[in-house]
Amino acid sequence: MKVLEYAAKELLKEYGLPIKKGKLATTPEEARSICEELGGRCVIKAQVPVGGRGKAGGIKLANSPEEAYEKARAILGMKIKGIEVKKVYVVEIADFTKEIYAGIFLDRKNEKAVLMVSAEGGVEIEEVARTNPDAIIKLYIDPAYGLFPFQAREVAFRLGLDNKEALKVATCLYKMYNAFVGLNAQLVEINPLVIETDGNLLALDAKIILDDNALFKKPELTNYRDLDYEDPYEIEAKEKGLSFVKLDGNIGCAVNGAGLAMATMDIIKKYGGEPANFLDVGGSSNPEKMKNAMNIILSDKNVKSIYVNIFGGITRCDDIATGLISAFKELDIKVPVVVRLTGTNEEIGRKMLKESGLPIHTASTMREGAQLAIKLAGGG
């Protein structure tokens, strides 16, 4: 779960990291009054879950509350990388002399958290990694011990700062690691971490990605889930215990198991079709899940045919058949449905579908099912 900048900063503040005053606004009027509260000058920042906001014109300086109103009006509703801006963060202006990059994330290959710091802050770290990899300092952190303060200092003293500044940066890095662990984050990034003209540090921009699987430890973090920016069907699917990703094609897929679901999309594409979605109905899919899956697929008006591909292991084919039959009874299914049922209790499942008299096309192999679904969608 990616949280927006304002939320990342609120969370970092709880761990003692320095951030400027600011508030969220969803209307130009709100932006104006927040700007007044902040003393009449502010920065208006689009809150979207993608990078490159500055270049897209999503971050603007305002020298008066009136200007804040105008700038917020321009930013709200604009699209950044295809995403509509629905809220802006109105914050105090900062004057700074230096920009530093600081990030902590889980390195999959080394199976450890890694702290990355660079004196070249303010640009994307991937960019620095490409153009000047030597400017990046990396420190792998032992999960059993965590980050020691001396390690944070060692890193900070390599940034070319004066002694006082370096010690402040070290403290920041240490607090960032506490946030990383405390929030069970996959990523905590401050970019840039700036040194203000008065010598103090400030997290000017921040990004946090939380582990969905760890949210049970701090349920209050789910309040930062921003439903404005998530696909409504993906949200619905998640609530129903299904794993769903919307794609652009016209052949809906309902499959048991993530690997098989991906392979099903791939085989559709291979034979000239376009999958409309990724959908994993789960390991022990009960009949209700199958019905919910059909419902979510049908809510996509592009869908011209549906391919149900099931390899019953733990999933029983008779459960899938029961779910399909009730889906046909309760939902208005007008598009052709291709079903391929193999594995545990396949004979019972197939017999049930046959006896139901429903207009279901059956296939005996994965390939045959894909080809049939493509044909019925009018393509291939």
Partner 1 sequence: MAILVGKETRLVVQGITGRDGSFHAKLMKEYGTNVVAGVTPGKGGMNVEGIPVFNTMKEAVEETKANTSVIFVPAPYAADAIIEAADSGVKLIVAITEGIPVHDMVKAKKYVVEKGVRLIGPNCPGLITPDEAKVGILPGHIFKRGRVGVISRSGTLTYEIVSHLTAYGLGQSTAIGIGGDPIIGSRFIDLLRLFKEDDETEAVVLIGEIGGTDEQDAAKYIKESFGKPVVAFIAGRTAPREKRMGHAGAIIQGSEGTAEEKIKAFEDAGVKVAAEPEEVAKLLKDIL
In the complex, the residues that contact partner 1 under the rule CB under 8 A are: 106, 108-109, 111-113, 126, 142-144, 181, 184, 186, 211, 213-214, 216-217, 243, 245, 247, 255-263, 265-270, 275, 278, 280, 283, 311-315, 342-344, 365-367
Smallest gap from Cβ 343 to partner 1, in A, equals 6
Smallest gap from Cβ 257 to partner 1, in A, equals 3
Smallest gap from Cβ 161 to partner 1, in A, equals 29
**Residues with catalytic annotation?**
101, 189
Nearer to partner 1, 37 or 368 (CB): 368
Smallest gap from Cβ 379 to partner 1, in A, equals 15
Determine how β-strand 42-46 pairs with β-strand 88-91.
Answer: antiparallel
Nearer to partner 1, 77 or 133 (CB): 133
User: What is the spatial distance between Cα 62 and Cα 371, in angstroms, rounded to a whole number?
Assistant: 58
Nearer to partner 1, 66 or 140 (CB): 140
Nearer to partner 1, 90 or 308 (CB): 308
